[in-house]
Every structure is written in structure tokens, then in C-alpha cells.
Structure 1
Amino acid sequence: MADYFLVLNPYADRWGADKTWPRLEAVLRARRVDYEVVRTEEPGHGIALAYEAARSGRYGAIVAVGGDGTVNEVANGLCRAATNGTTLPMGIFPVGSGNDLAEVLRIPHDLEGMVDHLLQDRRRLLDAGLVQSPGLAGVNREGRYFMNNCGIGFEAQVSLESRKISRLRGFLIYLVAVFRALYRYVQPRVRVRWDGKAREERMLLITVGNGRRTGGGFWLTPFAEVDDGQLDVGFAKALSRPGILRLLPKAIKGEHIYDPAILLDRFRHMVVQTDVPVPIHTDGEPITAGVREIEVQVLPGKVWVVADPDVPLLDVFQGHAPPSEQFLLSSREAHPS
């Protein structure tokens, strides 16, 4: 019985994880870590590996070695193995291109630091999100869990476009993908209902955050908490191409919250219907190129993650965040000015 089962995605960071592995392996051996490692071979393979490892009862924790997509697959395997309970602990070695969840949780990104962090074994119980749709198929037929973010519409189109880019790495991938998506995405008419509220209009995107940052640097849900039993949501009204280009730089600094095209709120359950099929991504991984009915819900306290619960989440406002009550629709209704 090994202490840790490592799910290594060699393709993470455009094969950067595969190149990093020998150095990471050397650190693990130097620290005398008892582990087993298996490389993923295709999309979805990490789900099966994590599920089987968790069900075997042979490991103390399952470790995602890659980026947010690898974390997503490992979390899906753990959640499916746990059924209605909490999961086996998940460790994260952030060697991908975005690493948004790990950054927000302040998990070290240097090799020695990430290994020492895992061995300290401080655990934080995180919420998870679950997205379901009649149009999902294959491994996602029963739904797809997410740990950090779920994007519906333009944001997911950007994820689809990013998969076609092979020569760039890191944040540049997402920037180029944004410009490609601008010319290929049709903004739908959307009807959305969440926790007793409703809205209907043409929208650019709906972004759902358990974490605060997505796409390697876009702070779309900057007030999100990973363990508050709710998911943060941002609605962006339909915009012209110049309007979209003006909005995006604001999201890098969290300043989009002041834009009149953006509405923020929190929810436990949300249903989305669109007049044309729209794509969805979970943690940066496209799960469908087009569906018209989508249901998203929070699963409070679902996933144990090896992360220090006493360390504050990374904050784009660097400790000077404006009160969230000024921006969240539910807070404004509860405390009218």
C-alpha cells in the first residue's frame, strides 16, 4: 500500500508536465515519498484512474499532477467513488498551463515546495459544482463535477479554441483563443433561473465560480469562496466585438465588476435554457460543443483537498476588495440602499 497515487497528465502545459516529471520524481525520492504514478493516455482517463484508485482503498490520497484539467478529472473520479459522501483527499502538483485553483489556494508552484506542502497534509474541505444536461454524453452522461469554474457560452468557446492552439503556452494560449472565439461565437438568447430569481435576455456568457480565477488570469468571480456552500455566478450581457475587447482587460484586474454589462450573484441551484446550442467547459475542459438545457448545482463540503485551511485565498484586490454586497444581486436585494 502506497501513501499516494499520482495521476500524471504528461500533456499538461503542452507536454511541459512530461518534461518536468524527472525533476519532480527526483524531489519525491529525495523526500522518501511512498507513491505510485500512472500517466493518463487520453481525455477522461484520469477520471477512471482516480475512481479505481479511490475505490481500491490502497492509498491515503490521490494527487493530480498537471493543470486545472487534470485536477478536474481526478476530482470527478473521487466524487464518483465517494457517491454521497466526502472524497478521499486530493493533492495537487500544479504543473499545468493555468493552475487557477492551485494558485487561489496558494499551493506552491516550485517542485520542492509542492512536495513539502503535500507532506504537511493540511486539509481543506471544498465545495464542488455539478453541471448536468440532457445533451451530455459518454463519460459526462450523468453530469460533470467541477472544482474551480464552469463556463457557459463565450467562455467555453474560448476553451474550445484554445485546444486548437499548439505552439503557445500559459496565458498566451487563452488570449489568442479569445480573439478566435470573437469571430465564431453567436450570442444566444438565454433564460436563466437561480434560487427563486429569473432573467431572460441575450447574453455573452454565464460564468460560474467555486474559485475566483479562470483561464490563467481572468478574475471572473473575484468574491467566490471555495467552502461557503454556494457558487458565484457572473452574467455578461450581449456585447459588440469592441465591447467584448473593452471588457476583457478589466477581468484581468477584477475591474469588470464595475461594468454595467456584468451582473454578479450567488446560488445553490441554477437552470439555463438557450435558443441555440451553446458550449460548456468545466475547469477549462470543454465537455460539449453545444446544448440548450443546463443545470448547475453546488455540493457543499464534497472534496477534501490538501491545502492549508488557515491560509487566505489569493485575492486580486490584494486585501482591498470592495464589499461584495455592493455587487451581488442577492445582497443588494436583502440590503437595499
Structure 2
Amino acid sequence: MADYFLVLNPYADRWGADKTWPRLEAVLKARQVDYEVVRTEEPGHGIALAYEAARSGRYRAIVAVGGDGTVNEVANGLCRAATNGTTLPMGIFPVGSGNDLAEVLRIPRDLEGMVEHLLQDRRRLLDAGLVQSPGLSGVNQGGRYFVNNCGIGFEAQVSLESRRISRCRGFLIYLVAVFRALYRYVQPYVRVRWDGKAREGRMLLITVGNGRRTGGGFWLTPFAEVDDGQLDVGFAKALSRPGILRLLPKAIKGEHIYDPAILLDRFRRMVVQTDVPVPIHTDGEPITAGVQEIEVQVLPGKVWVVADPDVPLLDVFQGHGPSSEQFLFSQQETHRSSR
């Protein structure tokens, strides 16, 4: 019986994880880490692997070896296997392209550091989100968990487009995907209700954050806390193509929060209805190309992650930013945006 079960996504970072594995394996052996490793073979495979490993009761922790998508699959397997409300601990070896959750939790990126971090076995209890829709099918039927971010609309369309790009790597993939999404995405009319509040109108996107950063460097929900029992949400009203291109760079520094097109808040449960089907992603993984009824809720204290609870979360404002209370939707006010 091994101490750790590693779920390796060789395709993470466009096969970069597969190339990194021999060096990571050498570090594990040098540190005499007792582990088993299995490579994922197709989307969703990591969910089944993590589920079976967790249910076996043979391991101290299940480790995601890849990017945020691999973390999402392992987290889903652990959440589905949990019988006492919380999961078996999840370790993270961030060898993908984005690694947003690992960055915010300050998990080391160097191979020696990430192995040492795992062996220290400091644990942090994170909230999780659950997105459900009658239109979800297959492995997502019944709902999909996320631990960092969920995107509805344009953000998810960019994620879909990026999966169709095979000849680029890194940030260039994102740029190409954005331009494709600009010409393929139809901004829907949306009705949304959350914790007694409501809003409707044409929207570019709805982004939900348990973590602060997504997309490999976009601080869409910069005030989010991973363990506050709530999910942060950002609404972006419908914009022209030039308006979208002006807004996106602001999110790299968290400065989009000052834009009048953006509304921020927090919630425990949110219901979204749209006039046309819209895509959804969870932790960067597209889970549907189009649904019209969506429910998102927080599951407080759901996922144990091997991360130091005493280390502050990474902050785009470096401790000198504005108060989140300046930007949250008024408790008493209900907005109705124009078509």
C-alpha cells in the first residue's frame, strides 16, 4: 500500500506535464516517497481514478499532477467519494499551464519545493462550488464540483475555443481563443437570482470564484476567500467587441473592478436563466457547450487540500488594494439593466 496516489495528466500544458514527469519522478525517488501513479487517458478519467483511489481507503492523499483541469477532476472524484461531508486530502503538483489555485495557495512551482510541500502535510479546508443544470449529461449529470472558478458565458466560450487550438502554447492560445470567441459568442439575455437579490439584462459573462485568479493570470474575483462559506461573483454587462478587448487587460491587474460594466457580489446559492444556450466551464474545463438553466451553490468546508493554512493567499493588490465592501452589490438595491 502506497502513501500517495498520483493522478498524472500527461497532456497538461500541451504534453509539458509528460515531459516534466521523469524529473519529478527522480525527485520523488530521491526523497523516498511511497507512491503509485496512473496516467489519465481521456477527459473525465481523473474523476474515476480519484474516486476509486479514495474509496479504496489505501492512501493518505490523492495528488493531482497537472494543471487546474487535473485539480478539478481529482476534486470531483474526491467529493463524489466523500461519505462524511469532507474529502480525503488532495495534494497538488502544479505542472500545468495555468495553475491558478496552486498559485493563490502559494504551492511551490519548482519540483523540489512541491514535493517538500506535500511531505510537510499541512492541510487547509476549502469550500467547493457545485454547478447543476438539467442540460448536463454524461460524467457531469447530477452536477460538477469546482474548487477555484466557474465561468458562464464568454469566459467559458474562450475555454471551449482554446481546446480547439492545437498549434499554439501558453498565452498565445488564450489570445487566439479570445478572438475566435468574439465572433462566435452571442451575448444572452440573462435573469439571475442570488440570496434574495436579482438582476436581468444582456450580459457578457458571469464569473464565479472560490479562488481569486483564473485563466492563468486573470484576477476576475480578486476579493474571494477559499474558506469563507461563500462564492464571489462578477457580472459583466453586454459590451461591444472593442469594449471587451478594452476590459480584458484590466483583469490581469484586477483593475476591471473599477469599470462600470462590472458588478461584484457574494452568494451561497445562485440561479441563472438565459434566452439562448450558454457554455459553462469549471476550473477551466468546459462541461457543456450550451444550457439555459443553471444553479450554482457553495459547499462550505468540503475539500481538504495539502496547503499551509497559515500562509496568506496570493493577493493581486499586495495588501494595498481597496476594500471589497466598496464594490459589493447593495443588499437592499435591485438593479435591472437595459437590453
- Where does the alignment leave 5 or more consecutive residues of structure 1 unmatched? none
Tell me if the contact between 1:205 and 1:235 (Cα under 8 Å) persists in the aligned partners: yes
What SS does structure 1 have at the residue aligned with 2:172? helix
In the alignment, is residue 69 of structure 1 matched against residue 66 of structure 2?
no
What SS does structure 2 have at the residue aligned with 1:278? strand
C-alpha offsets along residues 18-39 of structure 1, whole Å, 9 cap, x if unaligned?
0000000000000000000000
Q: CA deviation at 1:174?
A: 1.6
Q: CA deviation at 1:248?
A: 0.4
Q: CA deviation at 1:172?
A: 2.5
Tell me if the contact between 1:326 and 1:332 (Cα under 8 Å) persists in the aligned partners: no
Q: CA deviation at 1:85?
A: 1.0
C-alpha offsets along residues 114-136 of structure 1, whole Å, 9 cap, x if unaligned?
00000000000000000000000
What SS does structure 1 have at the residue aligned with 2:317? coil
Tell me if the contact between 1:190 and 1:202 (Cα under 8 Å) persists in the aligned partners: yes
Identity of aligned residues (%): 94
Tell me if the contact between 1:6 and 1:36 (Cα under 8 Å) persists in the aligned partners: yes
Q: Return closer, same or farther for 1:148/1:30 CA change in 2, 3 Å cut-off.
A: same
- Where does the alignment leave 5 or more consecutive residues of structure 2 unmatched? none
C-alpha offsets along residues 193-221 of structure 1, whole Å, 9 cap, x if unaligned?
00000111000000000000000011000
TM-score, normalised by the number of residues in structure 2:
0.97
Tell me if the contact between 1:104 and 1:313 (Cα under 8 Å) persists in the aligned partners: yes
Q: Return closer, same or farther for 1:114/1:246 CA change in 2, 3 Å cut-off.
A: same
What SS does structure 2 have at the residue aligned with 1:182? helix
Q: Return closer, same or farther for 1:294/1:84 CA change in 2, 3 Å cut-off.
A: farther
The range that moved more, 258-267 or 163-172, is 163-172
Q: CA deviation at 1:330?
A: 4.4
Tell me if the contact between 1:277 and 1:291 (Cα under 8 Å) persists in the aligned partners: yes
Tell me if the contact between 1:325 and 1:332 (Cα under 8 Å) persists in the aligned partners: no
Which residue is equivalent to 1:13? 13
Q: Return closer, same or farther for 1:54/1:156 CA change in 2, 3 Å cut-off.
A: same
Tell me if the contact between 2:197 and 2:331 (Cα under 8 Å) persists in the aligned partners: no
Q: CA deviation at 1:333?
A: 6.5
In 1, Cα distance between the equivalents of 2:230 and 2:171? 28
C-alpha offsets along residues 136-157 of structure 1, whole Å, 9 cap, x if unaligned?
0001001000010000000000
What SS does structure 1 have at the residue aligned with 2:310? coil
What SS does structure 2 have at the residue aligned with 1:84? coil
Q: CA deviation at 1:334?
A: 13
What SS does structure 1 have at the residue aligned with 2:332? helix
Which residue is equivalent to 2:224? 224
Q: CA deviation at 1:332?
A: 8.7
Tell me if the contact between 1:174 and 1:216 (Cα under 8 Å) persists in the aligned partners: no
Aligned-residue CA RMSD (Å): 1.5
In 1, Cα distance between the equivalents of 2:190 and 2:156? 15
Q: CA deviation at 1:318?
A: 1.2
Q: Return closer, same or farther for 1:83/1:292 CA change in 2, 3 Å cut-off.
A: farther
Runs (4+) of structure 1 moved beyond 6 Å?
Answer: 331-335
